[in-house]
Amino acid sequence: MIITLTPNPSLDRTISLDGVLARGEVQRAVASHVEPGGKGVNICRALEASGVESLAILPGNALDPVLIALTEAGIPHLGMPIGASIRSNVAITEPDGTTTKVNVPGPVLTPAQQTELIELVLDRADGAGWVVLAGSLPPGAPVDFYADIIRKLRARYGAAAPKVAVDSSGAPFAAAVGAGPDLIKPNGEELAELTGIPDPEALEGNPAMVATASARLVAGGVGAVLATLGAQGAVLTTKDGSWLAQTPPMVAVSTVGAGDSSLAGFLLSDLSGGNAPDSLRQAAAHGAAAASLPGSTVPALNQTKPSDVTVTQLTHPKEDVQ
C-alpha cells in the first residue's frame, strides 16, 4: 500500500495547440483534457493503473469536481471537507512537447484543518510501504508542514514507520529534506536550489555533476535522490552509488505529470523488490511513457518499456563528496 498526500490538489486542464503558443493572440486548441490533479493524485492514478494498491489523501469536499472525478475513475481516495472549491490549473502544450503551466494558489487551510489533514495521514499510514508527500503547500500552511509529518510518522510508528518520499519545491522542500526522508524527487532546477548551485543550467548534460550534488543530500541524511532531468534522463543516488537512466530519443506529446509518473514507477518497482538500478529503470520508463501520452494521462505498467532504458553506473558518491 502506498499513501499519498496532496495538500494542494487541482483540477488540471491541458490544452493542446497545433503550433507555437502566440502570446497575446487568439488560437484554437486541437484537443483538451481534464483530469483530477496534483502530484500525489497523479501518482495514485499511475499506481492504480498498474494494479498497485494506493490511497490518495487530499483536502476537498465530497461533491468537488476533483473528488467526483477520482470516484468515477475508481481511484481510492480520502477527502477532508474544507468548505471551499479545489483550484483549477491550466497547462498549454505545443507540438514539440513544450508546456506552459498556469497554477493558481488554491484555498487556504486553517491551522485546525492542517492538523486534521496530518492526522488523516498518520492514521492511514499504519502498515503502508510508502507515504508520499507531494506538491505545493496551500496558502496558510507553514514551511515545515512536510517535515513535521515526517517527524510525526517516525515518532508514532518507530521502526515500523513507512518509508517517506517527498516531491515538492522551494522552502517546504528544503525543510522536508532536513527531516531526512527516504527518497526525494527533484528536477534539475530544484536540485540546484537544494544544493546551492547558483546556475541550474550547469547541471544540463552533466550527470556526474547531478550525482555529486545528489550525494551531498544523501550525506546529509536523505536516503536516496531521484533527479528527473526530462529528455536527458534521470539520475538515482543512494549511499551505495549513482546511476544514470536514459531512454531512446522521442518527441514528447505532453510533459504534464511525467515526473509524477516517474516517481510512481520507482515506487512500483521498489514495492515489488526491485533494486536501485531496476527501480531507476522503471522510473525512466514510466516518465517516457507519460510524456508520449496526451494531457496529464498516466501510463499503466504494460504501456512502459523498461527494456528500452539504458542504465549506467556513475562515480560512487563517496568519491565525489569531500
Positions marked active-site: 260
Can you read off the three cell numbers belonging to residue 78? Answer: 480520502
β-pair partners for 167: 134
How far, in Å, CA of 10 to CA of 183, rounded?
A: 24
Alpha-carbon span 243 to 208, nearest angstrom:
9
Asked whether 46 and 299 are in contact (CB, 8 A), the reply is yes
The enclosing H or E element of 263 equals: helix 258-271
Helices 111-124 and 145-157 pack at an angle, to 10 degrees, of 40
Residue 258 is predicted with a pLDDT of 87
pLDDT of residue 97: 80
Range of the domain at 177: 2-320
Write the CATH number for 178.
3.40.1190.20
pLDDT of residue 209: 94
pLDDT of residue 320: 43
Tens-level pLDDT at each residue, the chain (322 residues)? 999 999 999 998 989 999 999 999 999 999 998 889 899 999 999 999 999 999 999 999 999 999 999 999 999 999 999 999 999 999 998 988 888 999 989 999 999 999 999 999 999 999 999 999 999 999 989 999 999 999 999 999 999 999 999 999 999 999 999 999 999 999 999 999 999 999 888 898 899 999 999 999 999 999 999 999 988 899 999 999 999 999 998 777 777 778 999 999 999 999 999 999 999 999 999 999 998 887 678 888 999 999 999 999 997 544 444 3
Amino acid, res. 103: N
- Cell numbers at 270, concatenated: 521498489
Number of domains in the chain: 1
C-beta of residue 64 within 8 angstroms of C-beta of residue 79: yes
Cβ-in-10-Å burial (0-12, 13-18, 19+) of 94 comes to middle
| 208-214 CB contacts, 8 Å cutoff, 24+ apart | 208/314, 208/315, 208/320, 210/235, 211/235, 211/237, 211/242, 211/244, 211/314, 211/315, 211/317, 211/320, 212/315, 212/317, 212/320, 212/321, 214/242, 214/317
